[in-house]
Homo-oligomer: A and B are copies of this chain.
Amino acid sequence: MAQRTEESKGKLSFATQGGQGEGSYSKSNSAASKTLSACIVPSLEEFLLHHFSPPQGAGPIYYADFGCAVGANTIGLAKFVTETLKSRPEISERDFLCYFADLPTNDFNTLFNQFPPLASRDGGNGNVEERTWFAAGVPGNQFNRMFPRSSLHVAITTLTLHYLPEIPKSITDESSPTFNRGCISSHGASPAVAEVFADTSREGLRKFFQCRAEELASGGVLAFYFPSRPDRAHPERQMSEDSMQLALWKVETAWRELVAEGVMPEELLDTFNVPNCHPSKEEVEEVVDHETSCFHIQKLEYIHKHPFSPPNPELILKDAQSYAKWWTGILRGGLGGMLSAHMAPELTEALMERFSKHIEKDYLEKKPQFPMIMNICMGILIRK
C-alpha cells in the first residue's frame, strides 16, 4: 500500500511517470498544467511585487515547489517567481535557491537535465537561455517535514493537495463496510466510502499545512491551487463537472468490461484506488483557521469551471484516433506507474487499449471541444 501511495504522487488527478519518452508526464501534461496555472499567476505576481516582505539582510531567498514532478511547467514556475522578485530593485541582487521537492520515486535525473545552464559570470553570449537561480532537488513526502524550520520564503504547490497521504485501509479490505468494490476512486463510490476518502484528505491537509508552517520563515508565502469540489458535501460526486472525469470513468468502464470478460481478475479492480479526493475551499479554511494556525489568508478562492487547453487542440481533435491517443498518453503518463505496480504489463496494455476504444467512441458520439474545465481552489497564505 505504501508503495502504491508513493508511486501515485503526481498531477492532473493522476500519478506521474518519469523519463522523457512517449507517455511521460514531462511530455504529456506540462503544457496543460501551464494553462491551468493561469488561475494563480496574476494574484501571485501582484502579491510578490507589492506585498511580499523579503527576509532581512543580504542572505539568499529560498523557494520550494512541493510535488514538483518534472517538465517545463515546474521550471517555468521557479523562473516566474525569481524573475518577478528580481524585478524589485531591493531584491534584484539577492541570490535565489529553488528547491524542487517530490517523492523519491520522482525522476529527478530527468528534471535536473531539463534545467537551463546556470548563468555564466561574464553574462554569457545571450544565445542560450540561462537560469539566474541555484537549484536543488529534495526527495521526501510533502505530508511530512522536508526542510529545516523557518528556512523557506516562498513555497508553491500546484495540483497536489487533492492527493491523499495514504489509501485508507478499510477501502481495500473486503471485510470492511467501506470496501470500495468495483470502483477505482472516491468519485462514484458509495457516500460512506467517499467520506472515508474525504476524512483522509482532511487529515492530509492538516499534515501538509502543519509541516509548511514549521518550514516557512515568518513573512513567508505559501501559494497553491488544486482541483476542488464546491463544498464539503458529496465527496462521491466531486469530479462531476471536471473534464478529467471522462478519463476516470472510461478507465473504470474499460476495467469492468475486462473483469466481466474474464481477462482481469475481479480483486485487481477491487484493490486499486487512485489516492485522490478533491477538497473544498471550506475544508482548507477549516485547517488554516484552526486555533493553532500560523497562517494569514491573503487570498482563498473557489473558481467554478476554470478553463484550460492543451497547446495544440486542433491536432488532438483532428480525428477519433488522435483524440484517443492524446487521452491514452495522459492516462499512461499519469496512472501508468500505479497500474504497472498493481498488475502484469499485458493487463495494463489491455486496459489502455480498451480505454482508447472507449475514447474513440466518445469522440464519434459527442464531437468534443476544448477548452477543458476544472473546478479549482487557489490560495495565497502568509506565515505569521
A residues whose Cβ falls under 8 Å from a Cβ of B? 58-60, 95-97, 99, 104, 107-109, 112-113, 115, 118, 121, 134-140, 144-151
Contacts and interface: CB of A to CB of B under 8 A. Distances in A.
Contact of A112 (B96, B104, B115, B134): B104
Nearest to A60: B148
A149 B113 contact: no
Closest 10 CB pairs of A and B: A60-B148, A95-B148, A112-B139, A136-B136, A137-B137, A104-B112, A136-B138, A108-B108, A109-B109, A104-B113
Contacts of A58: 149
Given A95-B149, A134-B140, A134-B147, 20 more contacts: A59-B151, A97-B147, A97-B148, A97-B151, A99-B136, A104-B109, A107-B109, A108-B112, A108-B137, A112-B139, A113-B139, A115-B139, A118-B140, A118-B144, A118-B145, A118-B146, A134-B148, A135-B138, A136-B138, A137-B137
Q: How many copies does the complex hold?
A: 2
B107 A151 contact: no
A165 to B, nearest CB: 13
25 contacts: A58-B149, A59-B148, A59-B150, A60-B148, A60-B149, A60-B151, A95-B148, A96-B148, A97-B147, A97-B148, A97-B151, A99-B136, A104-B109, A104-B113, A104-B115, A107-B109, A108-B108, A108-B109, A108-B137, A112-B137, A118-B145, A118-B146, A134-B147, A135-B140, A137-B139
